[in-house]
Amino acid sequence: MNGPRSVDPPKIRLCRESDSSLSLTVIDDRTYLNVQILRAAPLSDPAHYISILDANAQEIAMINHPSELDDETRRVLYEELDRTYMTVAIWRINSARIESGVVHLNVETDRGWREFVLKDLHESVRRLGGNRLLLQDVDRNRFDIPDVGALDRRSAKLIEQIMSGLQLEA
pLDDT digits (tens, 9 = 90+) for 131-150: 899 999 988 889 999 999 99
pLDDT of residue 5: 63
Q: Both 19 and 31 in a single domain?
A: yes
Q: Both 100 and 117 in a single domain?
A: yes
pLDDT of residue 4: 56
Position 1 in a domain: no
Domain count, the chain: 2
Position 127 in a domain: yes
Q: Both 21 and 67 in a single domain?
A: yes
pLDDT digits (tens, 9 = 90+) for 147-168: 999 999 999 999 988 888 644 5
Average pLDDT value for residue range 15-27: 94
Residue 99 sits in a domain whose CATH number is 2.60.40
pLDDT digits (tens, 9 = 90+) for 52-71: 999 999 999 999 999 999 99
Position 24 in a domain: yes
Position 169 in a domain: no
Q: Both 121 and 78 in a single domain?
A: no
Higher pLDDT, 6 or 34: 34
Position 48 in a domain: yes
Average pLDDT value for residue range 28-54: 90
Q: Both 58 and 100 in a single domain?
A: no
Q: Which of 74, 59, 53, 84 is nearest to 5 (CA)?
A: 59
Q: Both 26 and 61 in a single domain?
A: yes
Residue range(s) defining the domain that contains residue 158: 87-164
pLDDT reading at 1 higher than 50? no
Could you list the beta-strand ranges (E) of 77-153.
87-99, 102-109, 112-118, 125-127, 133-136, 142-145
Q: Both 94 and 79 in a single domain?
A: no
pLDDT of residue 148: 94
Q: Which of 60, 80, 87 is nearest to 6 (CA)?
A: 60
Q: Kindly report the average pLDDT of the chain as a whole number.
A: 89
Non-local CB neighbours of 92 within 8 Å, separated by 6+ positions: 107, 108, 151, 152, 155
Strands 112-118 and 125-127: unpaired
Dist. CA 12–CA 8, nearest whole Å = 7
Q: Both 38 and 92 in a single domain?
A: no
Q: Both 115 and 137 in a single domain?
A: yes
pLDDT of residue 30: 93
> Above pLDDT 90, what percent of the chain?
64
Which stretches within 6-138 are classed as H helix? 71-84, 121-124
Q: Both 80 and 98 in a single domain?
A: no
Q: Let me know if 14 is exposed, middle or buried by CB neighbors in 10 A (0-12, 13-18, 19+).
A: buried
Q: Both 23 and 37 in a single domain?
A: yes
